[in-house]
Amino acid sequence: MNLAAPSYLFAILITGLGILGQWGPEVLAGLWRWVAGVWVLLLLLEGVVARHRPLSIARQLPERFHLGVVEGYAITLHNPSQRPLVALGAERPPAGLALLTHPLEWRVAARGEATVAVSVRATQLGEQRFSDPLLLRLRGHLGLAWWSRRALGGSVGGCRVVPNRLSANERVRCAQQPVGERQQRRAGSGAELLWLRDYQPGDAVQSIDWKATARGRRPVVRVMAEEQHLELVLLVDVGRASAIQAGPLSRLGHYCNVAARLAEKALGHGDRVHLAAFADRVLVSAAGMRGAAGVVTARELLARLRAAEVASNPLPAVLEVRRLTRRRALVVLITDPQDGEAGQELVKATSLLRPHHQPLIVGITDPAVTALAQQPPSSWLDPFRSLAAQETSEGWRRISVRLQRLGAEVVLAPESRIDTLVLAGYERLRAHGRI
């Protein structure tokens, strides 16, 4: 029970009557006891009515929530009694859903119902069960207090959290195949020449156009229409470091979102997608996904990923690439690029991919570390914190430079920008014919 404003007025009145009884006329000496008795009696009556008041509640849950996205569901409160109802609610969603709307309030007419929208952000993949009852506080019909109740009916339900997906506009753009700047047919080849571009390290020697090279006095390669259906390999790190929190989600949550959206974009372009998740070894692997069925398969696999309790090693995942595809592919390795021993393993893995494949190394940086490295000291510990942050930032820079020297594309960015930069990098590499 929590007292409401009218009860505090009663308390003030009783206090005032008590003081008058001590210092005023004798006829007022015991009046405060009668008022206090009436107040207690009304509270008891109101409490009995509130605790036995019929009501029912139901959640309208969507079939799925998307990881990291603010979405909502509805809670409907039905009041079958002949008195209007005012209620406050405390929702306790599953651990994988972070509540953003509180407190919840219903104002229900007599024999009516009211619905409240609840906003949540999904933070964990997998099934989420609403097993806890909804806790309510009902305002008494006299308005003297709020009375605690548990919700009746509709207290148990479930939904599923899946990786995020492309927006409607992004899917429309994927469906539009790119148009080449120059198109012509080569006799006898049956392939369509889209355009010519400058040679870049890693391009196949067979793609060099020697006549255009002689005319321009620089190496020029052909980009053919048959090359527009590309191979994409997604390697997702589910090692111990992937459980570290990065904003509202863990790193693994961001990894899965990036992989799911990139796979959907590539499959929308007609590319062929392969997927593998690894820790100290390859844990999940799927090859040759295409079209709408490939989108469903990729999202189902990513939704089942969980962080392992061992350190990750990208070398087994790179060896798995050879089994997944024999063609030149864009290999997107989503991991935690660190300097030191872990960085050496990543460098070895990248060198094994080149020059046959085009690696794209993706990692999440912490903006708090960057800010701490530049923050002026305000206490004796701050210089040491700043030095550690500077060393971490310098480690990110060193590993990025080493990977780029091997011919890899590197995307290291905060979690708020990583998704956009990876999708843009894929489009750029695809448009320039690097894969």
Each residue's pLDDT expressed in tens, for the chain with a length of 435 residues: 888 888 889 889 888 888 888 887 777 778 888 889 999 999 999 989 888 888 888 888 898 999 999 999 999 999 888 889 999 988 888 889 999 987 899 999 999 999 999 999 999 999 988 877 788 899 988 888 999 888 765 545 678 999 999 887 776 565 554 433 333 443 334 455 667 888 877 677 878 889 899 988 899 888 765 545 789 999 999 999 999 999 899 999 999 999 999 999 999 888 999 999 999 999 999 998 998 899 999 999 999 999 999 999 999 999 999 889 988 899 999 999 886 677 889 999 999 998 889 999 999 998 888 888 888 878 878 888 888 888 888 888 999 999 999 999 999 999 999 999 999 999 988 887 666
CA dist., res. 267 & res. 377, Å (int): 50
- Reading the block at residue 96, the tokens are 């994988």
Q: Other C-beta atoms within 10 Å of 99: how many? A: 14
User: In angstroms, how far is CA 371 from the centroid of its own chain?
Assistant: 23
Mapping DSSP to helix (H, G, I), strand (E, B) and coil, where does residue 421 land? helix
For residue 310, report the phi and psi dihedrals to the nearest 5 degrees: -125, 160
Q: Which residues contact 244 (CB under 8 A, 6 or more apart)?
A: 250, 251, 336
Contact between 30 and 20 (Cβ < 8 Å): no
26 CB-contact burial (10 Å; exposed 0-12 / middle 13-18 / buried 19+): exposed
β-strands 64-66, 157-162 pairing: parallel
Q: In what order do the strands lie in the sheet with 157-162?
A: 64-66, 157-162, 126-130
